[in-house]
Structure 1
Amino acid sequence: MKNIFNIAILPGDGIGPEVMSETYKILDVINKKFDFKIKTHEFDIGGIAFDKFGTPLPKETLDGCIKSDAILFGSVGGEKWTCLSRDKQPETGALLPLRRFFNLFMNIRPIKLNFALKQLSPLKKEIIKDGFDILCIRELIGGIYFGLPKGRNTFDKKNISAFDTEIYSTKEIERIANIAFQLSLKRRKLVFSIDKANVLESSSLWREVVTKVSKNFPEVKLIHLYVDNAAMQIIKNPNQFDVILCSNLFGDILSDECAMLTGSVGMLPSASLNKNFFGLFEPAGGSAPDLKGKNIANPIAQILSLALLCEYSLKLNYVAQFIELAVINTLKKGYRTLDISDGKNYITTKQMGDNIAQTLSEIIKS
């Protein structure tokens, strides 16, 4: 095993720097408790990078990511930069190019109902009584977000039209489907593939290819669902789902729906990976500029993103398990940030980071 790991830290905009600061506390515990070191190298990205360098993805930042074993990402964007052209906006000019450059074709988002917080779920008690554990696998660098052509027809100024292209190839679908089936083998061996094959030609191909890939995994059960039915079934009975396999657009929507069933999107991490499991790890929520500087944002998603980084890119599964347990035990003690509290009794972003770090130290010591 390597003795030294290097990770690129990209705090970004909004609450990104605040919640990222709390992961440094976790890294400090890890570096003190184990016989390896995780070195961090921080770079600007997104809106703050544009303000400093005139680009949301500076060369120094990209070079730093190239030299790293993984990327820990905060969040980017805010109303301040929405007036910029798409290539200069934080999301489309930084995050999407990073995904494309490193070929991060799969997004993995674990969505679990923490029993310490089950009262926060918007679902009825009888629906969530058995909890749920969903793994959403989203294709990340294809589909309508990247398909060409896209643009606007402006020849009629009184009736402008805009267009985007949904496009998928056999190879793109095969590689993400293989990941979903492989990961399902470690779980309940159940894959729900989401499409709109009754309407979209790209979805028809998606269903054909996923079905073909499934033949290589006879022990895994494959279920096809139209996306509208899937959205309904997730609300009706989330516990029926195990691995959800989605295209880029459908995964973007359904993963956020699943996230809110846990009570707060501020609780959930995500991993964007390439075939070598080099990845970019980030919270499922956004930059929340309205919360910036108030010390009330929930840092748990950022901390759990670090856990995923340890698991997938650094291959330190036991460290990831320690971090996850520290979060669970901290919640069991009753500590809550504003978004998961009753609105009266809650602790600050920094206090939550302190408590998780202290709990992690105690767990490792025991």
Structure 2
Amino acid sequence: MQNRALAAATFSFVVAQSLCGTLADADWPQWRGPSRNGHSPDTGLMESWPDGGPKQLWIYKNAGKGYAGPAISQGALYTMGTQGEKSTLISLDANTGKERWTTEIGDILGNGWGDGPRGTPSVDGDRVYAMNGGGHLVCASTQDGSILWHKSMSEFGGKTPNWGYTESVVVDGDKILATPGGEKGTVIALNKETGSLIWQSSDITDNAHYSTMVPANIQGQWQYVQRTEKSIFGIHAENGSVLWKTDFPGRTAVIPTPIVFGNRVYVTAGYGTGCKAVEINEKMEVKELYSNRLMKNHHGGAIQVGGHVFGYSDGVGWLCQDLESGEEVWSEKRALGKGAIGMADGKLICVDEGSGKVMLIDASTEGFKEHGSFTLDPQSEIRASRGKIWTHPVVINGKLYLRDQDLVYCYQVQ
């Protein structure tokens, strides 16, 4: 009996340690998280925030200019910023905010809406991949930031969009996916070890816009769903051919990441464009389900929760939309201004891009219900006059990560 009790206790301890290790090692290795849908895997988070908000654990003050979000892997945080006239890839200790290393990744992108990188790095094992606003893509060591290979989107016929490349490159199997755009082909696949070209999608030649593609299984076919100013399309993962394509009449800048649900795809854009949902059949034929101007999401992102999508719609406010019908469930304009959104443990984290107010609300069809808020403090003094707080919130390992230009913040939310 004593041996059995000892064995049981030992087993329980090992399981507990294993679970703790799993929690401690949870990763947010890329844009919009492990599944690229904006959902954090965290559970057991605060159901409401105290007055003044959750405890601030640390602030890193040397990120420089830019809107790049954080990727977190194996206890390290990766983002991009600037030093002088150069873009930089930055690594911090995700728990303390202590700088691990920085490395240059090309000239800074200058822009009236704010200089610096826009996309989020992607981490894969002992390598991190990042592309700056000028289309310089690097593969670097996660240990010390040393550059292992470098490519420019111009090598593939790409022309930098008006506001720079904002795409967060995708790691899928042995490939790195990016969207240079242009006459040689809109999308490329590179060997992630060497940077050599595997294929380029020559049968679609739209210029790049600002969205990040999504790997997806649609009707049993593994593919990459991407969008440009005028099109939504699926690219064959093995050879880069176009599997399906449909029109999307975007204006000025098409930014939010597509949402794939089953064999359906939902997209939205700002500048008065609206949203569209389509269904793809076994023959890769496209059927439009609806198209309207209810969800006009600029770049704060839209997040699917079950049969609904949440986000900020220009002129409407914070919106819950029925994903099947495209109809409004509820909207709220007064409680919080326009901004970005994240999802964790059944609640939405919404960031007002103008004031820096951060609010926790229910991810519910019952209406806009707040569970606490706080305002970022301090705020950046190097933000461009037309720039705002555009970096999306991230929750992983019980911590909320936010950014305002040179300032990267970490809060305890568990």
The higher-RCO structure (CA 8 Å, 6+ apart) is 1
More helix by share: 1
TM-score (norm 2): 0.27
TM-score (norm 1): 0.30
